[in-house]
């Protein structure tokens, strides 16, 4: 019978991060992954022509420089590299103008000042003050077990005289209105926070507006493909003698006398023939909360009140349809100056509150908004290894309803998407005249129906493994009473994006949970 000190279910970046920490601490660790490759959302493919690399999921990595794992696990030394594009956020406007965030504060100030000198000054003041304390804010809020009250966080926020405690009670729209005056500036900021997972109408989360301005220059492009991070983390796990078994679909969590003692595999792989795997010290689930509590744990073990909370866990939001393009040329914008041609994340079609509100209204009704608006990223501008010499790739992410909420369902989507993709390109062409059909070598449309089958933890297309609104954040994530990565079953922990701080490649839940497991095993 195969035995490990710790068995990890799922080899997404959180499962791998946790496994690396535990193996480094000297525990024997086995990670069991359903797919044939590790990485979960860290997935790079060549769906069209060879040599054109597409990050099917996580493309924009946020703040790896703040993640304790970056240094603790020596991720760079094991092979991971990042490019730091100098213009992380940009948006062309239909009047030929544009707005952008530059890694140099003075250049952002110049861009904002075209719309409002007051907003430009507000941004600079806020950004300079935040930069002094931001790492500590991140460590207190993201890279720690959520708690309320949080004295470490409050201590850092107290150093920011302009920080308005009322923002915690406001929607993002309200906080943006409180901070800035110009609608172009506000729309630009809110659209980018939405792309990161938080729509502007989310209530009681207004503090995210200043937070994201603190973070805006910490966006990194994974060199050579997002999958490189999965390979690097896997290498670190192996370096510390951890084992990763792919093609292993975990069927059940074994519980004896109220304690998790291992797992059973629904499907074994050539790498491991045993059906039952024993965990001497802990089982950690790095997959979504619904599968963990309601599918992998046998009936009759969890209290009905816990199961009821999990049944209410909400996956709405953060569902995307991607349009992947292989191009002869990168976009050249119809702009008064061409700085924007070097923008990494390009917001296409979000110019005022009306655009944001129209999108929110359509999506909440279960429709794909008629006007194609999206976030585009042209990675080859910064890392030519994403395409053959001289060629380019582009990814356009379009927000859409979750798969279980989409009016007309999969069939309607499949019938409309080729025509929609044409309009995605036409919309781009309206800002960048060279984005014509002749510039496109090939295109691939990737829907949430596909990725929810590929990465089953992204239920109904929720890339964050659960909605990230106030009711499912911090001490409420994944369920109240168990936000500290423990579960009601002794020896069973969770560390996926269904936990704090939610979806994206933060290397956070895996890190936070590893600390908790190690503390409990002392
Ligand atoms: C279209 C799209 C675009 C995105 N863009 C970005 C972006 O630009 N930046 C960013 O930071 N994030 C982005 N994300 C989100 C990001 O990919 C996820 O939030 C992140 O990958 C979640 O990591 P995780 O480790 O928590 O879980 P996952 O990556 O979901 O990993 C879970 C793993 O568990 C495995 N698994 C599930 N069930 C079982 C089982 N029963 N047995 C064994 N294994 C199992 C899965 O196969 C998977 O490998 C995007 C996602 C999508 C879909």
Kindly give the distance from the C-alpha atom of residue 287 to the centroid of ligand 1, in angstroms, as a whole number. 9
Mean pLDDT of all residues in the chain?
Answer: 97
Q: Would the pLDDT of 273 be above 90?
A: no
41 lines ligand 1 (CB under 6 A): yes
500 lines ligand 1 (CB under 6 A): no
503 lines ligand 1 (CB under 6 A): yes
* Residue identifier of the C-alpha nearest atom 18 of ligand 1: 504
Q: What is the pLDDT of residues 355-410, one digit of tens each?
A: 999 999 999 999 999 999 999 999 999 999 999 999 999 999 999 999 999 999 99
Kindly give the distance from the C-alpha atom of residue 457 to the centroid of ligand 1, in angstroms, as a whole number. 7
Overall average pLDDT of the 275-282 stretch: 97
* Residue identifier of the C-alpha nearest atom 21 of ligand 1: 41
Overall average pLDDT of the 56-61 stretch: 97
The pTM for the full model equals: 0.98
Overall average pLDDT of the 465-476 stretch: 98
Q: Would the pLDDT of 29 be above 90?
A: yes
Tokens of 476: 């409420």
The pLDDT score that the predictor gives to residue 167 is 96
- CA–CA separation, 122 and 128 (whole Å): 10
Q: Would the pLDDT of 303 be above 80?
A: yes
Phi, psi of 500 (to 5 degrees): -60, 135
199 lines ligand 1 (CB under 6 A): no
Domain spans, the chain: 2-81+224-314+465-521, 104-216
Q: What is the pLDDT of residues 147-186, one digit of tens each?
A: 999 999 999 999 999 999 999 999 999 999 999 999 999 9
Is there a contact between 136 and 222 (Cβ–Cβ < 8 Å)?
Answer: no
13 lines ligand 1 (CB under 6 A): yes
Q: What's CA 194's distance to the chain center, in Å? A: 11
Is there a contact between 509 and 324 (Cβ–Cβ < 8 Å)?
Answer: no
Find, among 70, 79, 43, the residue nearest to 218 by Cα: 70
Kindly give the distance from the C-alpha atom of residue 505 to the centroid of ligand 1, in angstroms, as a whole number. 9
The pLDDT score that the predictor gives to residue 458 is 98
288 lines ligand 1 (CB under 6 A): no
Kindly give the distance from the C-alpha atom of residue 433 to the centroid of ligand 1, in angstroms, as a whole number. 35
59 lines ligand 1 (CB under 6 A): yes
464 lines ligand 1 (CB under 6 A): yes
Neighbours of 390 (CB within 10 A): 9
SS3 annotation, 449-516: HHHHHHCCCCHHHCCCCCCCCHHHCHHHCCCCCCCCCECCCECEEECCCCCCCCCCCCCCHHHHHHHH
- CA–CA separation, 33 and 28 (whole Å): 17
The pLDDT score that the predictor gives to residue 141 is 96
Q: Would the pLDDT of 268 be above 90?
A: no
60 lines ligand 1 (CB under 6 A): yes
Fold of the CATH domain 2-81+224-314+465-521: FAD/NAD(P)-binding domain (3.50.50)
Q: How confident is the model at residue 1 (pLDDT cuts 50, 70, 90)?
A: confident
The pLDDT score that the predictor gives to residue 335 is 83
- CA–CA separation, 375 and 362 (whole Å): 17
> With left for phi above 0 and alpha for psi between -120 and 50, is residue 241 left, alpha or beta?
left
The pLDDT score that the predictor gives to residue 264 is 97
């Amino acid at each position: 019978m195969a035995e490990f000190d710790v068995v990890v279910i799922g080899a997404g970046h959180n499962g791998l991060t946790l496994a690396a920490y535990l193996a480094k601490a000297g525990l024997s660790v086995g990670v069991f992954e359903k797919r044939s490759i590790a990485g979960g959302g860290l997935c790079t493919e060549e769906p069209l022509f060879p040599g054109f690399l597409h990050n099917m999921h996580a493309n924009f990595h946020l703040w790896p420089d703040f993640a304790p794992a970056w240094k603790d696990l020596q991720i760079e030394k094991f092979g991971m590299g990042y490019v730091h594009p100098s213009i992380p956020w940009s948006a062309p406007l239909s009047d030929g103008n544009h707005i952008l965030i530059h890694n140099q504060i003075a250049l952002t100030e110049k861009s904002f000042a075209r719309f409002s000198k007051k907003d430009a000054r507000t941004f600079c003041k806020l950004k300079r003050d935040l930069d002094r304390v931001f790492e500590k804010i991140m460590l207190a809020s993201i890279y720690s077990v959520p708690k309320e009250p949080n004295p470490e966080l409050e201590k850092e926020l107290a150093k920011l005289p302009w920080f308005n405690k009322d923002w915690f009670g406001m929607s993002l729209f309200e906080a943006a209105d409180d901070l800035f005056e110009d609608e172009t500036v506000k729309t630009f900021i809110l659209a980018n926070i939405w792309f990161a997972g938080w729509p502007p109408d989310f209530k009681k989360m207004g503090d995210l507006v200043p937070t994201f301005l603190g973070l805006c220059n910490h966006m990194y492009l994974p060199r050579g493909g997002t999958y490189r991070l999965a390979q690097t983390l896997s290498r670190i796990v192996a370096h510390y003698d951890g084992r990763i078994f792919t093609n292993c679909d975990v069927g059940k969590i074994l519980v004896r006398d109220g304690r998790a003692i291992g797992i059973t595999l629904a499907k074994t792989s050539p790498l491991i023939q045993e059906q039952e795997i024993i965990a001497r010290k802990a089982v950690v689930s790095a997959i979504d909360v619904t599968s963990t509590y309601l599918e992998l744990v046998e009936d009759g073990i969890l209290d009905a009140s816990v199961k009821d909370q999990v049944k209410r866990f909400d996956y709405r939001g953060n569902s995307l349809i991607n349009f992947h393009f292989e191009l002869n040329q990168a976009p050249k914008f119809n702009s008064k100056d061409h700085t924007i041609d070097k923008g990494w994340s390009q917001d296409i079609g979000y110019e005022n509150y009306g655009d944001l509100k129209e999108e929110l209204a359509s999506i909440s009704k279960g429709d794909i908004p008629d006007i194609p608006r999206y976030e585009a990223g042209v990675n080859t501008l910064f890392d030519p290894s994403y395409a053959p010499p001289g060629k380019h790739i582009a990814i356009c992410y379009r927000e859409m309803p979750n798969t279980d909420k989409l009016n007309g369902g999969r069939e309607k989507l499949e019938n409309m998407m080729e025509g929609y993709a044409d309009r995605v390109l036409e919309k781009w062409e309206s800002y960048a005249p060279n984005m014509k059909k002749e510039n496109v070598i090939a295109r691939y449309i990737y829907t949430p129906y596909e990725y929810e089958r590929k990465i089953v933890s992204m239920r109904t297309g929720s890339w964050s493994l659960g909605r990230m609104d106030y009711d499912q954040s911090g001490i409420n994530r994944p369920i109240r009473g168990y936000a500290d990565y423990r579960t009601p079953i002794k020896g069973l922990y969770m560390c996926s994006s269904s936990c704090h701080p939610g979806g994206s490649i933060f290397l956070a839940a895996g890190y936070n949970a590893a600390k908790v497991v190690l503390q409990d095993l002392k």
